[in-house]
């Protein structure tokens, strides 16, 4: 048993529904490894239970695994709005959302979040960024003014397979450049507290100061 297996055997089970979603994601979607998975899913649920948000924003739905994980931790009356730019995934996502017991808490939006979120008159308590790495800076700049003071932003993939250590990434490697620019921006932003967890591919927890 390796360390990853050991961890999974010593945390809460992901549950049958999420396990089936994970399997279906691997079978039917390209780049299935992008789904949050068991460990990160349990962490997201626990963070939601700790933060107790009323309004949650997710950028990058993919298969819906992270949204459903967070929905498990939501209190009654809380909502999660998730944005997916690739409309070809809509049928897959809606099937799994509609079949879950959290369907009434989930709102799927298909389209460009950078265009759609500013049209919503919502102050967010929690935001989860897991979309196009090239646009992480733009996402952050869009979200921050719309966050509740004391609210949290969680950004995924902020270690980006270790490529963040590259001093001179290839000019064509816009994803690495995007993550590096985001990390640098957040590190220098005195309006927030921040910590990077070396979980999977890096998870940054950001708290908006009050």
Angle 52-146-54 (CA atoms, 0-180°, nearest 5)? 20
- Written as one string, the DSSP assignment of 70-101 is HHHHPPTT-EEEEEES-GGGHHHHHHHHHTST
Report whether 190 contacts 145 (CB < 8 A). no
Report DSSP state, residue 200.
T
Q: What is the pLDDT of residues 84-120, one digit of tens each?
A: 999 999 999 999 999 999 999 999 999 999 999 999 9
Report whether 149 contacts 173 (CB < 8 A). no
What Å distances lie between residue 157 and 64, 100, 108, 144, CA to CA?
17, 27, 22, 19
Q: What is the mean pLDDT of residues 9-22?
A: 96
Q: What is the pLDDT of residues 112-162, one digit of tens each?
A: 999 999 999 999 999 999 999 999 999 999 999 999 999 999 999 999 999
| Residue 192 banded pLDDT, cuts 50, 70, 90 | very high
Q: Catalogue all structural domains in the chain, each as residue range(s) with its CATH number.
A: 3-208 (3.40.50.150)
Q: What is the pLDDT of residue 31?
A: 77
CA 78 to CA 115: how far, in whole Å? Answer: 24
Report whether 82 contacts 89 (CB < 8 A). no
Q: What is the pLDDT of residue 169?
A: 80
Q: Where are the alpha helices (DSSP H) in the chain?
A: 3-8, 16-28, 37-51, 65-73, 90-98, 113-116, 136-143, 174-188
């Amino acid at each position: 048993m390796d360390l990853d297996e050991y961890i999974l055997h010593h945390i809460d089970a992901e549950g049958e529904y999420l396990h089936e979603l994970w399997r279906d994601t691997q079978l039917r979607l390209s780049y299935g490894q992008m789904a949050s998975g068991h460990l990160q899913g349990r962490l997201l649920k626990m963070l939601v239970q700790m933060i107790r948000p009323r309004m949650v924003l997710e950028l990058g739905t993919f298969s819906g695994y992270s949204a459903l994980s967070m929905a498990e931790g939501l209190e009654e009356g809380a909502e999660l709005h998730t944005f997916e730019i690739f409309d070809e995934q809509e049928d897959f996502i809606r099937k799994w959302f509609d079949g879950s017991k959290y369907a009434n808490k989930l709102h799927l939006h298909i389209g460009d979040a950078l265009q759609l979120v500013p049209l919503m008159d919502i102050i967010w308590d929690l935001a989860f960024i897991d979309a196009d790495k090239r646009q992480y800076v733009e996402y952050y700049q869009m979200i921050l003014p719309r966050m509740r003071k004391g609210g949290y932003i969680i950004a995924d993939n902020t270690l980006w397979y270790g490529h963040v250590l590259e001093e001179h990434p290839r000019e064509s490697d816009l994803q690495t450049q995007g993550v590096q620019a985001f990390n640098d921006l957040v590190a220098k932003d005195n309006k927030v507290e921040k910590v990077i967890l070396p979980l999977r591919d890096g998870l940054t927890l950001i708290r908006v100061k009050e």
